């Protein structure tokens, strides 16, 4: 009994943090997330204070520096062995539900990416890039089959409770008739936490140079750094849909499993971040581009549930972002 009491006394700070983390997982209350972050910081300062009091500043400083050096060494050695500059990352959003959840810690490896590949010329690639941007037009819903039911406040199309009636100024067509490049849409549903289902429209595949590449959950999930001037911020964890090879250079088309459209389709002139289901900004000059191979950090090898929350809370990602209350499903 005394052994357990001593163990609890020596580690009560860590026990409190784990208990608060469990409480957050169950309640998803932002206040609890703040308490987790506060507890981590408070425990660090308390342990430092106790170390100084027991052993003096010199020894405590030596131990802190040693811990930092060892941590950095483990990080860089791990990155070297896994061939990636960042072997660990945390899932911030819910764009990969249900396969990855917010708060997951993921282990990465820099290696070849499993995704179907197509070769195009540099001239074809310039044409393809011009076709990737999409502008959505909304209007009243009709029941005659001409308009796709879209009764959901989806931020990417900004349709509110209306229906998507046009893409790039043309009436909605589920299958593209462009053999060089086109998005192929299909009906899907969004299931809320309460079990309610609403209609939506999703990209099911893309056509590139006459070949069609379908969304495939066996393709690798990758982590990449968006280019400067992109709509997204920070590292993005999404799934590779297809790889386009252009004169020996590789570019990836990426899509989140819980997103209706590809990353390159997210518009830069929509509502402000945090006010709608997805993360993008109001500046129309911003745009997401196909992901070049040099922007890749690696592919996801495995996930560790919940541990990533510790990083998220320390960096200020306290509240669940928009989109965490629905999961995309096939219609």
Q: What is the pLDDT of residues 257-303, one digit of tens each?
A: 998 889 998 866 443 333 333 333 334 567 889 999 999 999 999 99
Instruction: Please say whether the beta carbons of 205 and 214 come within 8 A.
Output: yes
Predicted pLDDT of residue 255: 96
**Closest Cα partner for 290 from 208, 212, 214, 217?**
208
pLDDT digits (tens, 9 = 90+) for 46-65: 888 888 888 888 888 898 89
Regarding whether 113 and 33 lie in a shared domain, the answer is no
Regarding whether 72 and 109 lie in a shared domain, the answer is no
Total number of domains in the chain = 2
Regarding whether 257 and 114 lie in a shared domain, the answer is yes
User: Looking at the domain assignment, is residue 273 inside a domain?
Assistant: yes
What is the domain range of residue 12? Answer: 2-82
**Segment 125-148 mean pLDDT:** 73
Regarding whether 129 and 274 lie in a shared domain, the answer is yes
User: Looking at the domain assignment, is residue 161 inside a domain?
Assistant: no
Q: Of all helices (H) and strands (E), which one includes residue 239? A: strand 236-246
Find the angle CA(77)-CA(78)-CA(80) to the nearest 5 degrees. Answer: 65
**Segment 200-213 mean pLDDT:** 91
Regarding whether 23 and 118 lie in a shared domain, the answer is no
User: Looking at the domain assignment, is residue 204 inside a domain?
Assistant: yes
Q: Which pTM was predicted?
A: 0.85
Q: Is the pLDDT of residue 165 over 80?
A: no
Whether the link from the prior residue into 12 is cis, omega within 30° of 0, is no
Nearby residues of 55 by Cβ (< 8 Å), 6 or more positions away = none
Predicted pLDDT of residue 153: 35
Instruction: Please say whether the beta carbons of 185 and 202 come within 8 A.
Output: yes
Mean of all residue pLDDT scores within the chain: 84
Phi (first) and psi of residue 293, to 5 degrees: -60, -30
Q: Is the pLDDT of residue 182 over 70?
A: yes
Compute the distance between CA of residue 35 and CA of residue 51 in angstroms, rounded to an integer. Answer: 24
Least confident of 21-25, 92-96, 147-151, 231-235: 147-151
Compute the distance between CA of residue 38 and CA of residue 45 in angstroms, rounded to an integer. Answer: 11
With DSSP H G I counted as helix, E B as strand and the rest as coil, what are the percentages for the chain, rounded to 5?
30, 25, 40
- Of 297 and 141, which is predicted with more confidence? 297
Compute the distance between CA of residue 230 and CA of residue 290 in angstroms, rounded to an integer. Answer: 11
The alpha carbon dihedral of 153, 157, 159, 163 has a sign of: negative
User: Looking at the domain assignment, is residue 283 inside a domain?
Assistant: yes
User: Looking at the domain assignment, is residue 162 inside a domain?
Assistant: no
**Segment 70-82 mean pLDDT:** 94
Q: Is the pLDDT of residue 155 over 80?
A: no
Q: Of all residues in the chain, what percent carry a pLDDT higher than 90?
A: 52
Q: Is the pLDDT of residue 123 over 70?
A: yes
Instruction: Please say whether the beta carbons of 169 and 307 come within 8 A.
Output: no
Predicted pLDDT of residue 143: 52
> How sure is the predictor about 69, in pLDDT bands with cuts at 50, 70 and 90?
very high
Across 11-116, where does the E strand assignment appear? Answer: 88-90, 105-109
- Of 234 and 146, which is predicted with more confidence? 234
User: Looking at the domain assignment, is residue 268 inside a domain?
Assistant: yes
Q: Of all helices (H) and strands (E), which one includes residue 314? A: helix 308-314
User: Looking at the domain assignment, is residue 95 inside a domain?
Assistant: no
Regarding whether 203 and 65 lie in a shared domain, the answer is no
């Amino acid at each position: 009994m005394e052994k357990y009491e001593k163990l609890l006394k020596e580690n009560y700070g860590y026990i409190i943090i784990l208990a608060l983390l469990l409480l957050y997982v169950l309640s998803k209350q932002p206040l609890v997330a703040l308490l987790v972050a506060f507890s981590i910081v408070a425990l660090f300062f308390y342990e430092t204070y106790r170390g100084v009091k027991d052993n003096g500043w010199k020894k405590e400083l030596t131990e802190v520096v040693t811990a930092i050096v060892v941590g950095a060494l483990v990080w860089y050695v791990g990155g070297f062995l896994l061939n990636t500059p960042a072997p660990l990352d945390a899932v911030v959003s819910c764009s990969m539900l249900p396969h990855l959840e917010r708060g997951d810690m993921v282990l990465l490896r820099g290696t070849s990416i499993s995704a179907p590949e197509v070769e195009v010329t540099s001239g074809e690639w310039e044409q393809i890039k011009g076709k990737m941007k999409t502008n959505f037009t909304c209007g009243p819903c009709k029941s005659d089959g001409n308009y796709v039911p879209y009764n959901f406040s989806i931020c990417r199309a900004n349709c509110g409770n209306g229906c998507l009636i046009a893409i790039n100024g043309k009436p909605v067509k589920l299958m593209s008739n462009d053999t060089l490049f086109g998005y192929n849409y299909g009906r899907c549903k969004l299931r809320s936490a309460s079990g309610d289902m609403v209609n939506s429209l999703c990209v099911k595949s893309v056509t590139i140079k006459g070949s069609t590449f379908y969304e495939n959950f066996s393709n690798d999930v990758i982590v990449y750094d968006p280019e400067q001037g992109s709509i997204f911020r920070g590292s993005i964890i999404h799934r590779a849909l297809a790889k386009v090879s252009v004169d020996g250079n590789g570019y990836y088309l990426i899509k989140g499993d819980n997103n209706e459209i590809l990353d390159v389709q997210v518009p830069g002139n929509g509502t402000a971040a945090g006010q709608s289901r997805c993360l993008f900004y109001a500046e129309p000059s911003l745009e997401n581009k196909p992901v070049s191979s040099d922007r890749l950090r690696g592919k996801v090898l495995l996930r560790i549930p919940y541990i990533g929350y510790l990083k998220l809370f320390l960096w200020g990602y306290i509240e669940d972002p928009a989109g965490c209350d629905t999961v995309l499903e096939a219609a």
